Structure 1
Amino acid sequence: MLTTTTHRLRAVALCGAALLLSTGCGQGHGHTPQQLSEMIADTVRDAAASGPLGLGVPDTLFDPARYACSPAVDPGLPGGWRSEAPREAVQDEDPVELGLSDAEGAHSGQVAATVTGPSGENSTAEAGTSDGGWARLDYPDAFDGAEELTTGVYTVVWSDAGTGAPITCDGFEVE
């Protein structure tokens, strides 16, 4: 039920909102939409150039129960990408073989695998692919600065070594 008090409160609220919009929002930021777009693009380019290779997908984690990463990695390169990692938990004394292949054979060149360990440390290594062949890397042996295997889940993000474009995500578990 509307009363005289309700109408006055609405009128005061409307006048307050109009005053705020006309003073605070009326100042503007002084940039055109084109300038804002260029500023955003520069920021993204700077972040990509300064970040470590292969980390184009932040906060991606492998879930060994689903054999999938969350959030999923959308490939930045066309192709029929397949990855390999152990599907059963491995022991901490043996190196882990990781693999990547383009079944369509559209990509040849260097790819990078960035492995994130259970404690959040990252290490990256590169391998070559050609004509649908497999790029293979042993973790931790082929990865500079990689720590010894410890119990937990490891996330592997594959990317193009030249551009940093993400390709796919995989992972494995160590007992």
Structure 2
Amino acid sequence: MRCVLTTTTHRRRTVALCGAVLLATACGQSHGHTPQQLSEMIAETVRDSAGAGSLGLGIPDTAFDPARFACAPAVDPELPGGWRSQAPRAAVEDGEPVELGLSDTQGHSGTVTAAVTGPDGETALAEAALGEGEWIHLDYPDAFDGAELVPGVYTVVWSDTESGAPITCDGFEVE
């Protein structure tokens, strides 16, 4: 179909009709993918084009915001699951150990790593074995070699130890 404007046609009607025809033509041709498949393809393309240290994927430039109880940029979980993390939602007193937790409602098991970045920018690591359907808990700084607890905001990035795939991000604040 050709869309032609003449002196007797109404521009708005013609533009609307031409737009509808183009949309119907484009949407009528099937590409063979479901919306879920398209979403996964887009996410995979973004990950592949971004590189390991790029902004936007949450690693390594993610920072926890205690006012929003969220990390920005958010971690893009590369390991499927129903991940839940646990950290104090109120500022803790300096000197008290901080309990961090992780669980997967979809039954993932294996070794995970918690990378805690303190207010000074230093990162301490600890590993834990995650059982299917269970919570694991790590006390910061006790379970982390060379870690110190000082006032400020801490970012916790959980990842799969074997693959290095990021899982989720959380954090806490120390007064």
Give the shorter-chain TM-score range: 0.5 to 0.7
In terms of fraction of residues, the more helix-rich structure is 1
SS of residue in 1 equivalent to 2:124: strand
Which residue is 1:136 aligned to? 137
Is 1:96 matched with 2:102? no
1-side partners of 2:145 and 2:131: how far apart?
Answer: 24
Taking only aligned residues, the RMSD between alpha carbons, in angstroms, comes to 1.5
Structure 2 segments unaligned to the other structure (5+ residues)? 1-47
User: What secondary structure is seen at the aligned counterpart in 1 of 2:159?
Assistant: strand
* Deviation, structure 1 residue 93: 1.2
Matches within 5 A, 1:42-81: 57-81=59-83
Match of 1:82 in 2: 84
List per-residue Cα deviations over 1:25-77 (Å, max 9, x = no partner): xxxxxxxxxxxxxxxx8xx6xx79xxxxxxx7111000000000000001110
Structure with higher RCO (Cα < 8 A, 6+ apart): 1
* TM-score (norm: length of structure 1): 0.67
What amino acid maps onto 1:170 in structure 2? D
Distance between the aligned counterparts of 1:135 and 1:75, measured in 2? 18
| Distance in 2 of aligned mates of 1:80 and 1:121 | 29
Q: Which residue of 2 aligns with 1:145?
A: 146
Following the alignment from structure 1 to structure 2, what is the Cα–Cα distance between the partners of residues 63 and 121? Answer: 17
Number of equivalenced pairs: 122
CA–CA distance in 1 between the matches of 2:136 and 2:59? 20
* Superposed displacement of residue 132, structure 1: 1.1
Unaligned runs of 5+ in 1: 1-40, 49-55
Hey, what's the Cα distance between the residues in 1 that align with 2:169 and 2:106? 18
Per-residue CA deviation, residues 119-142 of structure 1 (Å, 9 max, x unaligned), is 101000001111110111000000
Report the CA distance between 1:146 and its aligned residue.
0.9
2:143 is aligned with what amino acid? A
Give the C-alpha shift of residue 145 in structure 1: 1.6
Cα distance in 1, alignment partners of residues 172 and 110 from structure 2: 25
Q: Deviating runs (4+, > 3 A) in structure 1?
A: none
Match of 2:32 in 1: none
Report the alpha carbon displacement of residue 103 of structure 1 after superposing the two structures with TM.
0.9
- Partner in structure 2 of residue 19 of structure 1: none
1:6 maps to what in 2?
A: none
Structure 1 residue 102 displacement after superposition: 0.2
CA-CA distance at 1:116 after TM superposition:
0.2
